Amino acid sequence: MSGKRSPRETAVRMALLLAGLCIAHLGVTLFLQSDLGSDPFNVLIQGLFRSIPWPAWAGMTHGRTHLLVSVLIMVVLLGVDRDKVRAGTVLCMALGGPIIDGFTWLLAPWLNGSLPMAARLVMLAAGCVILAFGMTIVIRSEAGTGPNDLVAVVLSEKLKKPFGPVRVAVDVCFALAGAAMGGVLGVGTVAAAFLVGPAAQVFLPVSGRICGFFLKKLAGGVSSPER
């Protein structure tokens, strides 16, 4: 169990989580705007958004559907491993969708499916790397992990398997379920499913050192050092 954290350490961890969350969802937005197939979780979101006859009064968007699904995942995880659901998990759940909508609003006029294929492939590759890096900053902040990422984290620990392969399996399941409901499945989805997990496993120690540096400099130490 982690020792009791000081208010300063808690604040630094939350700031790291928010930074990682913004980075990760910038990557997600690049996937979406490349129009080559989004990351697996957002294929699931797209499928649900397109297949469910949402009432007009709900004003559903991709971001709001993302929020709703995240709530459902968090409720399930509360029953599976309550200790993993922290304050940061709620922030990830609440802010993930709006961050995607915000980045889409900012980037869509310039970065979209009308660009040449070479540019869209660059967007796709950048999205993959950015998503993996941002996700590991969130994980290593130890302030909580987004509900969709937490699925792989919990399964990895419960099954005692490396995070990378477990993340690949989870992503494949998300992608197949989303595609069955009308989500956009493309080269980007395949790239994300088989590259984001392994890339995240590479980034995890790097992100651990980054978070450790800021905790040492701004919070005076760490109450529960990373493994």
Q: Quick one: tokens of 44?
A: 């699931």
191: nearest Cα among 207, 206, 175: 175
> Considering the chain, what is the average pLDDT of its residues?
87
Distance CA 100, CA 141 (A): 21
| pLDDT band with cut points at 50, 70 and 90 for residue 18 | very high
**pLDDT tens for residues 73-87?**
888 888 888 887 888
As a whole number of angstroms, the distance between CA 179 and CA 174 comes to 9
Instruction: Please give the share of the chain, as a percent, with pLDDT higher than 90.
Output: 44
pLDDT in tens, 140-150: 999 988 888 88
Report if residue 174 sits inside a domain.
Answer: yes
Angle between helices 163-180 and 187-219 (to 10 degrees): 130
**What is the tally of structural domains in the chain?**
1
225 is a domain residue: no
pLDDT at 123 over 80: yes
By residue range, what is the domain housing residue 66?
A: 7-52+61-110+119-219
Query: Does residue 126 lie within any of the structural domains?
Result: yes
Handedness of CA 199, 200, 206, 210 (dihedral sign): positive
* Residue 224 maps to a domain: no
Q: Has residue 144 been placed in a domain?
A: yes
Q: In the structure encoding, which two tokens stand for residue 157, read together? A: 């620990």
Residue for token digits 């792989």?
152
Please indicate, yes or no, if residue 208 is contained in any of the structural domains: yes
Asked if residue 131 belongs to a domain, the reply is yes
Nearest to 30 by CA among 125, 132, 118, 168: 125
Q: Which two tokens stand for residue 66?
A: 């993302």
**Secondary structure of 34-103 in the HEC alphabet?**
HCCCCCHHHHHHHHHHHHCCCCHHHCCCHHHHHHHHHHHHHHHHHHHCHHHCCHHHHHHHHHHHHHHHHH
SS3 143: coil
Q: Is 203 part of a structural domain of the chain?
A: yes
Q: Taking a C-beta distance cutoff of 8 angstroms, is the pair 17, 143 a contact? A: yes
Q: In the prediction, which pLDDT does 224 show?
A: 47
Asked if residue 1 has pLDDT above 50, the reply is no
The answer to whether the Cα torsion of 54, 55, 56, 61 is positive or negative is negative
Q: Whose CA is closest to 144, among 225, 219, 82?
A: 82
Q: What is the pLDDT of residue 3?
A: 59
